[in-house]
């Protein structure tokens, strides 16, 4: 159950970011039932990639940049999250999933959206026992 919650959290964040920002998108139809049918599997695979990047790569980057994170009062964490989203887009491109992030600023805003939506989803779900 924890894995499903984790995957749905990232998928919801990515879906909202792709919906709100023109610079973050999936290839395929732009509306209707065909959009949902063609983009749902790539959305979950990209959410899995983002989750794996956030689990294994992001902590190492944060540990190595800890002095700079402290120096910038934590604002470097926004940049790290944006870079993780860009890395996810590169990996998704390598697997030909059709997920694209155009530029650093879209990645920065997208990372904030993914974080806020993820927090909202985790808050809305019932607490674990």
d(C-alpha 40, C-alpha 7), whole Å = 13
The rounded percent of the chain whose pLDDT value lies above 90 is 78
SS (H, E, C) the chain: CHHHHHHHHHHHHHHHHHHHCCCEEECCCCCCHHHHHHHHHHHHHHHHHHHHHHHHHHHHHHHHCHHHHHHCCCCHHHHHHHHHHHHHHHHHHHCCCCEEECCHHHHHHHHHHHHHHHHHHHHHCCCCC
pLDDT score, position 35: 79
The rounded percent of the chain whose pLDDT value lies above 70 is 98
117: exposed, middle or buried (C-beta count within 10 Å: 0-12, 13-18, 19+)?
buried
Residue 128 pLDDT grade (very low, low, confident, very high; cuts 50, 70, 90): low
Cβ atoms 126, 2 nearer than 8 A: no
pLDDT score, position 129: 54
26-75 tens-digit pLDDT: 998 777 787 788 889 999 999 999 999 999 999 999 999 999 999 999 99
Block residue for tokens 């607490």 = 127
């Amino acid at each position: 159950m924890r894995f499903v919650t984790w995957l749905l959290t990232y998928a919801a964040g990515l879906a909202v970011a792709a919906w709100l920002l023109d610079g973050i998108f999936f290839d395929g139809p732009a509306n209707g039932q065909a959009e949902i049918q063609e983009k749902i599997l790539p959305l979950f695979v990209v959410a899995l990639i983002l989750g794996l990047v956030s689990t294994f790569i992001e902590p190492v980057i944060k540990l190595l940049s800890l002095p700079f994170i402290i120096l910038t009062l934590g604002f470097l964490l926004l940049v790290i999250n944006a870079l993780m989203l860009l890395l996810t887009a590169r990996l998704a491109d390598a697997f030909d999933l059709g997920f694209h992030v155009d530029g650093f600023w879209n990645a920065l805003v997208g990372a904030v959206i993914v974080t806020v939506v993820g927090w909202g989803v985790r808050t809305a779900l019932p607490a674990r026992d």
